[in-house]
Chain A
Amino acid sequence: MSRIKKAQAGNTATLSQSGINSMTIKEDNISGLYVHIPFCTSKCAYCNFYSEPVSAHDTYRLLQAMRRELSLADTSAVRTVYIGGGSPSCLPAAQLAEFMKTITDKCHDITEFTVECNPCQAAPRMLENLRELGVNRLSIGAQSFNDDELNLLGRIHNSESVRTAVYQARQAGFENISLDLIFAICGSTQATWQASLEQAIALNPEHISAYSLTLEASTPLAQEIEQGKYTAVDELTDRAMYEQAIETLTKAGYEHYEISNFAKSGFECRHNMGCWQNRPYIGIGPSASSSSGTRRTRNFSDIKTYIKAIESDQSPIGETVKISDMDRICETAVLNLRTKNGIDVKKFKQVTGNDPCLLFAEPVRTHCEQGLLKIENDRIYLTAKALPIADYVLCDFAAL
């Protein structure tokens, strides 16, 4: 499953027992909490996330360390929580539950609480447990409904497990379910992709993420393609599949609200929206990153190094990058532009103190001329034509 951090919207239920009203905190100050569980049952062929075989580690010891890291974090502004990985669902159920409880004890005003779940690990008891602990959104790593494709990706589940997982999640009371899908898998065609999309829609999830397969160098799949064992899907087809996803999902009532994300109205992932607004976030666990707005840090990836640091009362931060005002402005522009709403000119001014139309006058002008950007109602956003080539436009906002 991916480390993608998703959350939810629409659900107004607050987990807080102490009852601070989220409305008392200005929206721009709120932050998200991301927890990285670096374990998987086995490694998928295309995956370059940091994860290790769950069987080889003392999961409890790591969770203890993470609990300690969490206890030191200032989570007062946290409103969304996302437990990703790796596969959180591969943890022993009791350990996972205990950890969830630590979070809800510490964060009192959670509006969206997502846990990533591998389809073959969606045990009814665990799901019920999570639901009871306040988890209100489940992100299921379906990836495809074609078993050959799942096989090629090295996934440990089949399409049937996805259907079962969604069913169990509903049974457990989840009203906000997201499915991850991957297209342009080697050997896939527009027809197999269409079938996957339709089967996903048939399950009626509130949210769907559709990613083009990214071939990360050094993954087994990329090497197999290099060796000629598989052929990567050509660019034209890849693009057609992307457009196909947009069309199919939009028709089925999902709003295309970010480059790769689709949701029924009100179910946009709040946690990730926070990221695209460039709001601060706290990351807990090995390789997790945090951003304060002026600094972005990343924890040690190596599980042992991470544990050792925390157990000896040292910082688990392996890497710190300063974010200058300029960097932050550019990041905000780039991230905003990935969303359907694009850059909200007024809000951008308010948050960064700068008028994006002036700051980015040159790229805005040239891309508007080419029909890749549009300015309307105080918003600057990518046109449909620009979506498949978004980076070509975004790179001009990456620096001044």
Chain B
Amino acid sequence: MDTQYIRNFSIIAHIDHGKSTLADRMLEITGTITAREAQEQLLDDMDLERERGITIKASAVTMNYEYEGHAYMLNLIDTPGHVDFHYEVSRALAACEGALLVVDATQGVQAQTVANAYLAVENGAELMGVINKVDLPAAQPDVVGDEIEHVLGVKKSECLLISAKTGKGVKEVLDSICALMPAPKDLSNEPVEALIFDSHFDEYRGVICYVRVFSGKLKLKQKIRLMGSGRTYLITEIGKFCPKMKPAGELGTGEVGYVIANIRQLGDVTIGDTITDDAAPAEHALEKYKPPLQMVFSDFYPGSNTDYPKLRAAFDKLALNDASFSFVPQNSPALGFGFRCGFLGLLHMEIIQERLERENDINVVQTAPSVSYEVVMRDGKVIRIDSPSQLPDRTYIEELREPFVKLEIITGTDSIGGIMKLAEERRCKLIKTDYLGPTRVIMEYKSPLAEIVYDFYDLLKSISHGYATMDYEFLAFEKSSLVKIDILINGNPVDALSLIVHRDNAEPRGRKLIVKLRKTIPRHQFEIPLQVAIGGKIIARETIKAFRKDVTAKLYGGDVTRKMKVLKKQKEGKKRMKNIGNVQIPQEAFMSILDTSD
């Protein structure tokens, strides 16, 4: 197809501002789906996406549209809004010439609006402003237009006002895309270069690569080469997303679609790699994007040691579908054999955890998530650890570094005071404050990742009555005055309960922590001493009293069903516990170490 009639664009926005709904309307208007096929957020086809009402994975779809008498091919890539999945947005943007920046007319510019707009600019995508949800009574398109112009440099007068829900203005969006968005460069006579911007695994067909052809064309039965890995494959199927996969003979310059080439494992393709022709290869690969950065790590242990192989198989399967999740075997002195898993963020962790439980019948005990640290050793070596338990002995350590991020918070002016207080408690340094409009500000902080990745967002929401939003981006590892808190249960140090915190907070955190543990660890038949040690020195202790009685006095015919239920529940509780030196430690205890509340 003539590239001047092709438009490739992403829809980017803050969470819930209506990307997927806008995509629905476009699919309908262009007749890509019939009214009968229509369902809300059609592109969110994963179970979890549908249940949570959010987009987790980007998805692509090709639409045909007629504008001013010409047939256009519009390739839309819907993206997730949540911070954990920013890398999905970058990938999508790398495949596009333009981006629709959707802003909710009742919410205005939010943290992920800004973050995603920057990503678009970085990727050289042309921004087109779309103010959505104008059907709502609380819509303030005028104010929101000012914000967009002020913060993002997109002209207010050029923003389109739409309701993705009712469909109002959506046709105009399609027209503007054809009229104003740049067309792909016509490089059809050059050697083929296609960017793999996503992939997914299909049980029957193997890896399905999502591609954007930048030059030349890809054809069925073509022998291709992945420029990064050097591996070669034969294309067995090629086609477009309509939105279901529809085979086509080829994909030309500027087009977006999929390639299946007998690739057995997701790990065999690197997202960002370039596909070229094996016989007539391109000279340089396309520019790759940065691999996703894992921000939090957590250990998973099978409740019973015999389930270890089952857990491995389950993780293998999950990793098959999610290249940004990683796991490596881990052996904890206290907890035995398990896996250390890396995640993009807490939402990503929750999703993996949920899938693990839903798709497998395994009881797992999970340790509290941790960020990674850099340790400069006395001998000058620098090592990276992603769990407090991996921290070498103090005597070998020259310096400890923790990850810092650029944190952006958008909020109403009335909660600035509360947020500044919270930020200060969390060791965040204010870099600057900008006004978005008369009553809203954007605050930029430099902050330790460990301080903002767990409960910060919830606290932020409660301080701002739900109005503040935040986004963060990794900056660098920097030296910090950190210490490790160790917990001893019944005299045994429990590595999985260790915690790295700033020296100034260490004592109060340690004290709070054992109080929490005292409440979450069930009583046993014996007394259990709990101790907190900082730098090898015990700073606090608590005792869990022994339980003396646990017996149902009366159990006769009529009570059996009810009693069995109670006993089953008691047993369930035991299953999600880990036995450490005769003490049963429940799942909640491991998580309680992150709880900083009183």
Please give, as numbers and ranges, the residues of chain B lying within 8 Å of A398 by CB-CB distance. 564, 567-568, 570-571
Choose among A288, A289, A395 the residue that contacts B570 (Cβ–Cβ < 8 A).
A395
CB of B138 within 8 Å of the partner chain: no
Asked whether, in the complex, the Cβ of B550 is within 8 Å of the Cβ of A390, the reply is yes
Q: How far is the CB of A256 from chain B (nearest CB, A)?
A: 13
CA distance A238 to B567 in the complex (A): 21
A105 to B571 CA separation, bound complex (whole angstroms): 45
Q: Is the CB of B548 within 8 A of A275?
A: no
Cβ contact within 8 Å between A260 and B553:
yes
**Out of B550, B554, B572, B574, which one reaches A4, CB within 8 Å?**
B554
Q: Which of A272, A391, A397 is in CB contact (< 8 Å) with B552?
A: A391
Instruction: Select one of A281, A334, A387, A388 contacting B564, CB under 8 A.
Output: A334
Per the bound structure, the CA–CA distance linking A331 and B565 in Å amounts to 10
A235 touches B567 (CB 8 A): no
- B557 close to A399 (CB less than 8 A): no
| A214, B568: Cα distance in complex, Å | 20
Instruction: Say whether A4 contacts B556, CB under 8 Å.
Output: yes
Complex: how many Å from CA A334 to CA B563? Answer: 10
CB distance B564 to A327 under 8 Å? Answer: yes
A296–B553 touching, CB < 8 Å: no
Quick one: given A235-B547, A331-B564, A388-B549, are A5 and B571 in contact (CB under 8 Å)?
Answer: no
Q: Within the assembled complex, what's the spacing in Å between the Cα atoms of A288 and B559?
A: 10
Whether A330 touches B554, Cβ cut-off 8 Å, given contacts A239-B548, A389-B525, is: no
- How far apart sit A388 and B553, CA to CA, in the bound complex (Å)? 10
B560 within 8 A of A: yes
B395 at the interface (CB under 8 A from A): no
Min CB–CB distance A298 → chain B (angstroms): 7
Whether A388 and B551, one on each chain, are in contact in the complex, defined by CB atoms closer than 8 angstroms, is yes
B34 sits at the interface (CB 8 A) = no
B554 to chain A: which residues have CB within 8 Å? 2, 4, 211, 214, 260
Residue in A275, A327, A391, A397 whose CB lies within 8 Å of B557: A275
Q: How far is the CB of B303 from chain A (nearest CB, A)?
A: 12
Does residue A259 face the partner (Cβ distance < 8 Å to B)? yes
Per-residue CB contact flags for chain A residues 1-43 toward chain B (1 = under 8 Å, else 0) read 0111100000000000000000000000000101000000000
A272 lies within 8 A of B567 (CB): no
Residues of A within 8 Å of B549, CB to CB, are 212, 235, 238-239, 242, 388-389
- Find the A residue at minimum CB distance from B560: A331
Residues of B within 8 A of A214 (CB): 553-554
Partner of B553, one of A3, A212, A235, A330: A212
A392 to B584 CA separation, bound complex (whole angstroms): 12
Whether the pair A283, B558 counts as a contact (CB closer than 8 A) is: yes
A343 interface residue, CB < 8 Å from B?
Answer: no
Contacts of A2 in B (CB 8 A): 554
B39 contacts the other chain (Cβ, under 8 Å)?
no
Question: For residue A238, which residues in chain B have a CB less than 8 angstroms away from its CB?
Answer: 548-549
Question: In the complex the two chains form, is A399's CB within 8 Å of B551's CB?
Answer: no
Q: In the complex, how many angstroms separate the beta carbon of A138 from the nearest chain B beta carbon?
A: 18
Known contacts A389-B525, A395-B568, A398-B570: does B550 contact A335 (CB below 8 Å)? no
B555 on the A face (CB < 8 A): yes
A208 to B574 alpha-carbon distance, docked (Å): 34
- Which listed residue, B550, B555, B561, touches A389 by the CB 8 Å rule? B550
Interface centre among A334, A335, A398 (most CB of B within 10 A): A398
Contacts of B558 in A (CB 8 A): 3, 34, 283, 287-289, 298
Q: Give the size range of B's interface with the partner.
A: 20 to 34
Q: Give Cα A298 to B572, complex, Å.
A: 26
Q: Check B550–A391 contact: CB distance below 8 A.
A: yes
Chain B 389-404 interface 0/1 with A at a Cβ cutoff of 8 Å (1 = within): 0000000000000000
The CA of A272 and the CA of B551, in the complex, are separated in Å by: 18
The CA of A389 and the CA of B572, in the complex, are separated in Å by 17
Most B C-beta atoms less than 10 A away, residue of A4, A212, A259, A391: A391
A158 within 8 A of B: no
Q: Could you tell me if B551 and A335 are in contact, using CB atoms closer than 8 angstroms?
A: no
Q: A321 at the A/B interface (Cβ < 8 Å)?
A: yes
Q: Is A291 part of the contact surface with B, judged by Cβ < 8 Å?
A: yes
| A34 pairs with B552, CB closer than 8 A | no
Q: Which residue of B lies closest to A6 (CB)?
A: B556
Contacts of B560 in A (CB 8 A): 275, 291, 296, 331, 335
A333 to chain B, nearest CB (A): 11
CB-contact partner of A391 in B525, B556, B570, B572, under 8 A:
B570
- Say which size band chain A's interface belongs to: 35 or more
Interface string of A357-400 (1 = CB under 8 A from B): 00000000000000000000000000000011111101111110
| Max chain B Cβ within 10 angstroms of own Cβ: one of A275, A395, A397 | A395
Given contacts A330-B564, A398-B568, A398-B570, contact A392 B550 (CB under 8 A): yes
Residues of A within 8 A of B551 (CB): 212, 242, 259, 387-391
B553 pairs with A211, CB closer than 8 A: yes
User: Nearest chain-B residue to A237 (Cβ)?
Assistant: B548
Question: What distance in Å separates the Cβ of A103 from its nearest Cβ neighbour in chain B?
Answer: 17
* A145–B565 alpha-carbon span in the complex (Å): 35
- The closest CB in chain B to the CB of A275 belongs to B557
- Tell yes or no: A79 within 8 A of B by CB: no
Find residues 569-590 in chain B having any chain A CB closer than 8 Å to their own CB: 570-572, 574
Selected contact of A396 from candidates B550, B553, B571, CB within 8 Å: B571
Q: Give the Cβ gap from B519 to chain A, nearest Cβ, in Å.
A: 17
Q: Is A236 among interface residues, defined by CB-CB distance under 8 A?
A: yes
Q: How far is the CA of A260 from the CA of B570 in the complex (A)?
A: 21
Whole-angstrom CA separation of A396 from B548 in the bound complex? 18
Chain B residues lying within 8 Å of A207, measured Cβ to Cβ, are none
CB distance from A324 to the nearest CB of B (A): 12
Contact A388–B567 (Cβ < 8 Å): no
| A338 lies within 8 A of chain B by Cβ | yes
Chain A positions within 8 Å of B547 at CB level: 235, 389
In the complex, the chain A residue whose C-beta lies closest to that of B571 is A395
In the bound complex, residues from chain B placing their C-beta under 8 Å from that of A283 are 557-558
Q: Mark A336-368, 1 if CB is under 8 A from B, else 0.
A: 001000000000000000000000000000000
- Closest chain A CB from B435 CB (angstroms): 54
Q: How far is the CB of B558 from chain A (nearest CB, A)?
A: 4
CB distance A259 to B548 under 8 Å?
A: no
Query: Considering only CB atoms, which chain B residue lies closest to A298 in the complex?
Result: B558
- Smallest Cβ-Cβ distance to A327: which chain B residue: B564
Residues on the A chain within 8 Å of B572, using CB: 399
Query: With a CB–CB cut-off of 8 A, which chain B residues contact A391?
Result: 550-552, 567, 570
Are A5 and B556 neighbours in the complex by a CB distance under 8 Å? yes
Contacts of B570 in A (CB 8 A): 391-392, 395, 398
Write the chain B residue with the least CB distance to A330.
B564
Interfacial chain A residues near B555, Cβ < 8 Å: 259, 335, 338
Q: Which residues of B contact A331 (CB under 8 A)?
A: 560, 564
Q: Which residue of B lies closest to A281 (CB)?
A: B557
A389→B567 CA distance, assembly (Å): 13
Q: How far is the CA of A228 from the CA of B247 in the complex (A)?
A: 76
Q: How far is the CA of A391 from the CA of B567 in the complex (A)?
A: 7
Which residue from chain A places its CB closest to the CB of B565 in the assembled complex? A398
Within 8 A of B (CB), among A222-263: 235-236, 238-239, 242, 259-260
Residues in A lying within 8 Å of B, measured CB to CB: 2-5, 32, 34, 211-212, 214, 235-236, 238-239, 242, 259-260, 272, 275, 281, 283, 287-289, 291, 296, 298, 321, 327, 330-331, 334-335, 338, 387-392, 394-399
Q: Closest 3 A-B residue pairs measured CB to CB?
A: A398-B567, A395-B570, A289-B558
List 6 additional contacts besides A283-B558, A388-B551, A397-B567; criterion CB under 8 Å: A5-B557, A235-B547, A275-B556, A275-B557, A391-B551, A396-B574
CB pairs A–B below 8 angstroms (15 shown): A2-B554, A5-B556, A211-B554, A235-B548, A239-B548, A239-B549, A259-B551, A259-B555, A260-B554, A281-B557, A283-B557, A289-B558, A321-B561, A388-B550, A392-B525
B: residues with CB less than 8 A from A are: 525, 547-558, 560-561, 563-564, 567-568, 570-572, 574
